[in-house]
A and B are shown apart, each in its own frame.
Chain A
């Protein structure tokens, strides 16, 4: 048993650390550190910097422009990007749709879509959930009816993150109802958001931002060659993707970074008042999450070691999702608790760079702590809710 890195891995770690220290733009960093929402322009600028370094697609094989990294390298990279508190690539293109395209798509589709995803020229969003189909995704109703060389789409997708900024959407749609299992009538299609008949309506989330949307499709005509893989196989493809989403969701390195910041915060005094770190109650709570997080780090490393010797991540990845989201949420609650009354002013706009310093409320980020706590209740809901994860474990691990 050993957990030390090889010489090459340590060198790689240094390289990544240097890259983030030197290349992550200062103005975006300031927003990110105070918990403000980043604009599309911020993301694109940063993602293009990662692209220029050749690090846009850490999970892709080299033949499509990915890094071809080992799981250990990806792990080191995720630690370093979190340590720098730099944002990850938005997942919808590079982590979600691209693996499906390069695994199941045609040569034409690969050539057409992958380069623009890599370069952050085209933005994607994920159209799975529908108003009547959340946890029970296989009940989805949005239809794709064949008409010559086209499909005609009708239906509604919902909770679509960043659809209002996206150029394309990938959808699970129903191509047939005449099947033994309802999963068999589901297909995976790609839709240009500019196609006539697509409308996007905002859904404002609890903290007051526009993060998700409803996307309506009314007689939307798309060419048949926007179907990925085989008709009726979409569910199988989509499931592969969900598995990916679940390992990413653990967010161990991000949580370690937040824990570090929480400790720094607790050690500070506000206007000469006593530091919260001296309060035993609070110190114990920090210790408790720290212990949970250490355990999760090793649970993740165990999964990683298994993947490194060629085993596929199984339903155990559900454990990572459950523990990872609960730890993030507990950290959010502790940030809010640390802020005391300063968690309560609703002043989300005060973190832009040019906001006058003397008009700010709080001492740095406190007023955003409650908004983040409220908003991040989503972490145990999306990507397959924690209840659904437990059902998966009960069924596939425990055999119940």
Chain B
């Protein structure tokens, strides 16, 4: 039994944590989040220079060959720093698809740019009617000679406004909810017929609603095989789910720690509020919630990196846990901060918003509890 990290893993976690301590304090983060670009191009370049954008990719593709454990370590720190740079959208989602299914040419065209930090990309994993079902795809792609014509709507495309490349899952066969018949397309965002409404999100990230009306792309834009996109999509979303859970746990720990600190310094009735047992027990509950979530995170990261068949079920277990425990930790942190907890000025509010958004992202607690049940039935 050994939960210790390798030397490289420790160095990676330390380097991210140092960056956040030295270069990404809350004030700077808020400036970036409130800017029009919504992330800092300069910081994104730094991520590339430090090699972080290369972490999960294999060495032949120009990556560092990291796996779920490395991603977990980084994302936990990104959570602590409330990092808004589009690591998830570029590296884990779009990069994840290209790495798993891209042809050599596609990797040269797109993946190397993503790793270098020179290309912004996105994966359109959701449609307006689909709620959290990634197989629910109504967007169609019709073959026409050596081209395909795409039409449909994508909702909540993370980084969709800045992306130069958008990966569009579209239906080439089958009925709307079939897992078969989904094909992934690499679509330049400036393609004729592609329009987008960009917006900031409540947790200070950015997304877009994308409409495709008769967007023509060459057959060489197909990523992987025609009709076989679902398995890739599912693997990528699973990895992304694990990643955001790690981020959430970084946030939960931070909220818990800050709350305990606050309760030691805030005085009411002549004593620190942390001396009231009514609050002490609740902070113990949030500590337990953090510890239990962390344990599930380690279990899931291990199963995933060993490629175990029950890793998918573990991911749903973890997402369910983070959804419920995250809500508890966040709501208690706000409550124990009193009025301060609901102000824009204090970081607690922004941790709360990001944690709530992660609660929804890739399926909420109910969705993953159902998925857990369904996967055990198999």
Contacts and interface: CB of A to CB of B under 8 A. Distances in A.
Contacts of B225: none
A252 B345 CA distance: 32
Interface string B342-361: 11110001001100110010
A139 B268 CA distance: 8
Contacts of A132: 267
B269 interface: yes
B interface, over-half SS? mixed
Contacts of A281: 366, 369-370
Contacts of B128: 270-271, 273
Contacts of B342: 205-206, 374-375, 377-378, 381
Contacts of A343: 202, 360
A206 B349 contact: yes
Given A204-B344, A344-B201, A273 B129 contact: yes
B344 A208 contact: yes
Given A343-B360, A344-B360, A361-B199, A380 B343 contact: no
Contacts of A391: 278
A377 B343 contact: no
A175 interface: no
B169 interface: no
Nearest to A391: B278
Contact of A204 (B136, B343, B364): B343
Contacts of B360: 336-337, 340-341, 343-344
B334 interface: yes
A208 B138 CA distance: 35
A134 to B, nearest CB: 5
Interface core residue of A139, A340, A341, A378 (most chain B CB under 10 Å): A341
Given A380-B335, A381-B339, A135 B269 contact: yes
Interface string A363-393: 0000000110111011011100111001100
Nearest to B268: A136
A359 interface: yes
A279 interface: yes
Nearest to B366: A281
B339 A129 contact: yes
B338 A134 contact: yes
B259 to A, nearest CB: 14
A203 interface: yes
B31 interface: no
B176 to A, nearest CB: 9
B269 A136 contact: yes
Q: Which of A208, A270, A340, A382 has the most CB of B within 10 A?
A: A340
Nearest to B136: A273
Contacts of A158: 339
B201 A346 contact: yes
B308 interface: no
Nearest to B348: A206
A346 B200 contact: yes
Q: Which of B127, B156, B370 has the most CB of A within 10 A?
A: B156
B269 A374 contact: no
Given A344-B203, A347-B199, A377 B341 contact: yes
Contacts of B343: 203-206
A282 interface: yes
A279 B128 CA distance: 18
B130 interface: yes
A272 interface: yes
Given A273-B130, A345-B207, A370 B341 contact: no
A386 B131 CA distance: 35
Interface residues of A, number: 53
A159 interface: yes
A37 to B, nearest CB: 15
A385 B338 contact: yes
Contact of A134 (B268, B279, B327): B268
Contact of A271 (B129, B345, B366): B129
B132 interface: yes
B268 A206 contact: no
Contact of B156 (A139, A270, A344, A390): A344
A137 to B, nearest CB: 9
Contact of A377 (B127, B129, B268, B334): B334
Contacts of B129: 269-273
A341 B156 contact: yes
B366 A341 contact: no
Contacts of B153: 271
A204 B34 CA distance: 14
Nearest to A382: B339
Contacts of B202: 207, 343-346, 370-371, 374
B247 interface: no
Given A281-B370, A336-B356, A361-B199, 13 more contacts: A132-B267, A135-B273, A136-B270, A204-B344, A271-B127, A271-B153, A272-B129, A336-B360, A337-B360, A343-B360, A347-B199, A377-B352, A381-B338
30 contacts: A129-B339, A135-B269, A203-B345, A204-B344, A205-B342, A206-B349, A208-B344, A270-B128, A271-B127, A273-B130, A281-B369, A282-B366, A340-B132, A340-B360, A341-B156, A342-B156, A344-B360, A345-B207, A346-B200, A347-B199, A361-B197, A361-B199, A373-B356, A375-B342, A377-B331, A378-B339, A381-B339, A381-B341, A385-B338, A387-B279
Interface of A: 129, 132-136, 139, 158-159, 203-208, 212, 269-274, 279, 281-282, 333, 336-337, 340-347, 359, 361, 370-371, 373-375, 377-378, 380-382, 385-387, 390-391
A-B pairs with lowest CB-CB distance, top 4? A273-B129, A271-B129, A204-B344, A341-B156
